[in-house]
Amino acid sequence: MKTRRVAPAKAKPTIRAVADRAKVAISTVSRVLNGGPASAVVRGRVQTAIRELGYSPSIAAQSLVTRRAGCVGLAGNSSQSPWFSQILGGIEEALATSRKSVVLASMMRSGRYDPSAVSAWIQDRRVDGLIFVRYARRDLPLFAAATRAGLPVVFIAPDAEAPADLIVRCNNVQAGDLLARHLAELGHRRVAFAGGPRTSIDTRDRLKGLTEGLSGRGISLRQRDVWFGASYTAEAGAEYARRFLGERSKSRPTAVVLGNDMMALAFIRAVLQAGVEVPREVSVAGFDGIEAGGTCWPGLTTVVQPTRRMAATACEALLQFVENREHDRAATVAYGVELLVRESTAKARDA
């Protein structure tokens, strides 16, 4: 019986072969593969060499060489909110051209704060960097641990101050002013503000913009018409609705600005159930521009922030920080916002 000879398997091209073909260092190939900084000319040479050689990098091997996990961590109170979904969409876009993935952690589970998952990421070096969504004071131990571990950290819309590598937010003072102008033009003289937590930077800035915007048009935002919720959730919006409904109808504000769209939608549902017409008896507005605000009736007037773009900016910067730790910390990028007028706001009943 004849023995059949099997041709030896063709050796897979290595990252060194790619570097030699492109006439660059191995570290440069690694940067290009991981979405790091490189000139257009160099990036083109590397990508051409990869194509010609049929090179397919091994993530596991890369991790051993670079001592990197190959993923970034995304942490926030909850990954279930519509606004967080927009954040995730922007991060996925930013990661599309890199070879990194994203891992998620919700730090509010079953009604209690549990940062153990994020703590384990840091301790075991399971991530190459961290993105905190609505970073709060209670997250300080996590931030400190990440800093000690040499992990870059980026914030999206933080509720507390800390020297992160980059802070990305929108111009919330401008957002409040846009709603002040809109409501003043509709003839509203008594406006209420029901925000998120009193300690939240976004809430304070939105209130500041609304207060100053109304004041500049001869309207005072009375202290009794300012309220702060324990969170930015629908439950907080419903809680404020109960307070609103507890007032005599003639003494109620003619317009209410809620801390975000989720709160505003819950407020509208509660007052409609109680027989209060929106916007004939009370105009309602929110912040964020989530999709749900345009799928209900009346549609929600809101200030739209470019959430996906903010998230993509944060993630792209984090990838650069992973490759190069030499940069200025605590830089801030603030995006402009736009007013989106829908059916939930109209002329004041007493205008």
**Residues 221 and 256 reside in one and the same domain:** yes
**Cβ-contact 182, 301 below 8 angstroms:** yes
Cβ burial of 127 (10 Å; 0-12, 13-18, 19+) is: buried
Which of 44, 65, 86 corresponds to the end of one domain? 65
**Residues 108 and 131 reside in one and the same domain:** yes
Of the pLDDT bands very low, low, confident and very high (cuts 50, 70, 90), residue 69 is low
- Mean local confidence (pLDDT), 16-43: 79
**Residues 222 and 144 reside in one and the same domain:** no
- Mean local confidence (pLDDT), 140-154: 93
**Residues 266 and 314 reside in one and the same domain:** no
**Residues 87 and 207 reside in one and the same domain:** no
Of residues 86 and 327, which shows the higher confidence score?
86
**Residues 101 and 48 reside in one and the same domain:** no
Does residue 49 form part of some domain?
Answer: yes
Which of 65, 80, 106 corresponds to the end of one domain? 65
- Lowest mean per-residue pLDDT among 68-82, 162-176, 203-217, 277-291: 68-82
Does residue 246 form part of some domain?
Answer: yes
Does residue 344 form part of some domain?
Answer: no
Q: Which domain holds residue 235?
A: 172-306
- Mean local confidence (pLDDT), 167-177: 96
Residue 191, pLDDT > 50, answer yes
What pLDDT sits at residue 106?
87
Residue 39, pLDDT > 90, answer no
Does residue 191 form part of some domain?
Answer: yes
Does residue 134 form part of some domain?
Answer: yes
Question: What CATH number did the domain enclosing 38 receive?
Answer: 1.10.260.40
What pLDDT sits at residue 65?
46
Q: Backbone dihedral region of 233: left (phi > 0), alpha (psi from -120 to 50 degrees) or beta? A: beta
Give backbone dihedrals phi and psi of 152, rounded to 5 degrees, phi first.
Answer: -70, 145
**Residues 145 and 47 reside in one and the same domain:** no
**Residues 22 and 145 reside in one and the same domain:** no
- The pLDDT tens digits of the residues spanning 314-345 come to 999 999 888 876 555 668 899 999 999 999 99
Alpha-carbon separation of residue 317 from 14, 37, 90, 228, 229 (angstroms): 29, 10, 13, 33, 32
Residue 58, pLDDT > 60, answer no
Calculate the dihedral angle through the C-alpha atoms of 130, 110, 140, 83, rounding to the nearest 10 degrees: 50
Question: What CATH number did the domain enclosing 189 receive?
Answer: 3.40.50.2300
What pLDDT sits at residue 288?
94
Does residue 150 form part of some domain?
Answer: yes
What pLDDT sits at residue 47?
85
Of residues 286 and 9, which shows the higher confidence score?
286
**Residues 20 and 50 reside in one and the same domain:** yes
Q: What is the tally of structural domains in the chain? A: 3
Does residue 350 form part of some domain?
Answer: no
- Mean local confidence (pLDDT), 86-94: 92
Does residue 21 form part of some domain?
Answer: yes
What pLDDT sits at residue 327?
56
**Residues 198 and 149 reside in one and the same domain:** no
What pLDDT sits at residue 60?
46
**Residues 251 and 166 reside in one and the same domain:** no
Roughly how many angstroms between the first and final C-alpha of the chain, as a whole number? 102
What pLDDT sits at residue 64?
41
Distance CA 276, CA 279 (A): 9
What average pLDDT does the structure give for the chain?
88
Give backbone dihedrals phi and psi of 329, rounded to 5 degrees, phi first.
Answer: -85, 165
**Residues 28 and 61 reside in one and the same domain:** yes
